[in-house]
Amino acid sequence: SQTIHQWPATLVQPVGSPLSLECTVEGTSNPNLYWYRQAAGRGLQLLFYSVGIGQISSEVPQNLSASRPQDRQFILSSKKLLLSDSGFYLCAWSVTAGTGGGYTFGSGTRLTVV
Amino acid sequence: DAKTTQPNSMESNEEEPVHLPCNHSTISGTDYIHWYRQLPSQGPEYVIHGLTSNVNNRMASLAIAEDRKSSTLILHRATLRDAAVYYCILREGSGAGSYQLTFGKGTKLSVIP
């Protein structure tokens, strides 16, 4: 069966520090991968998606970046965090688009920038 | 993006059926109707999806109107664990938009013991 792992679960980082969040998927190959963010009291916002290794599409311009170094690994990074980067970060995967299938989300990382 | 409209909140008594409505009057012919739910401090959980026909799975049923402009998520017997925010989302069947799930505010379901 397919599983998605996301870590860490919580993170407190000072303003200006770097960030690296990792997500891995098991039990499937060539998944579509996604990073979402949910700010406090707000809806989920798509940040990045990837349809293959090294292929990243950005939906929202910001000081975050994403990389996909391996088929089932998706990394969210920042060189210098801002207070506004605080939120609940979620990784998700889906099968190839066109099938209409559902997304599977990870358990999330709650990031607090202080 | 095609959009959906849901009530902000609903209440249900435990062990009774719950019908969560969703309007999507601008749906296109290739849009899939997805439902997710999110418990506090957790990631969204896939519930069900469909295109034209009604769908059933172990979690819920999805009833789709004949003109596809509305749908209803049916929880057959609400439990306390079903208390969550339920999102009705349209996913494009192809193209760049098919990679996006655009989450609205959803319906907050409260289950009364």
Q: Residue B101's pLDDT is what?
A: 82
Q: Is the pLDDT of residue A13 over 60?
A: yes
Cβ distance B14 to B113 under 8 Å? yes
Question: Which residue in chain B has the smallest CA separation from A91?
Answer: B43
Phi, psi (5° rounding) for residue B98?
A: -70, -15
Residue A39: pLDDT band with limits 50, 70, 90: confident
Using a CB-CB cut-off of 8 Å, the residues of chain B touching A57 are: 96, 99
Count the residues in chain B.
113
Chain B CB contacts of A49 under 8 Å are 99-100
pLDDT, tens digit, for every residue of B51-101?
999 999 999 999 999 999 999 999 999 999 999 999 999 988 777 777 778
Q: How confident is the model at residue B9 (pLDDT cuts 50, 70, 90)?
A: very high
Q: Which two tokens stand for residue A6?
A: 């996301």
Average per-residue pLDDT for chain A: 91
Looking at per-residue pLDDT, the higher value among A85 and A1 belongs to A85
Q: Flag if A100 and B105 touch (Cβ within 8 Å).
A: no
Q: What distance in Å separates the CA atoms of residue B86 and residue B84, rounded to the nearest whole number?
A: 6
B4–chain A nearest CA distance, Å:
14
Amino acid at B54: N
Pairing state between β B9-13 and A109-113: unpaired
Which tens digit of pLDDT belongs to each residue from A40-57?
877 889 999 999 999 999
- Region label for B69, one of left (φ > 0), alpha (ψ between -120 and 50) or beta (otherwise): alpha
Nearest alpha carbon to residue A1 among A90, A111, A93? A93
Q: Say if residue A18 is preceded by a cis peptide, omega within 30 of 0.
A: no
Element (DSSP H or E) covering residue A73: strand A73-78
What residue of B is the nearest CA neighbor of A56? B99
User: Which residue from B minimizes the CA distance to A47?
Assistant: B100
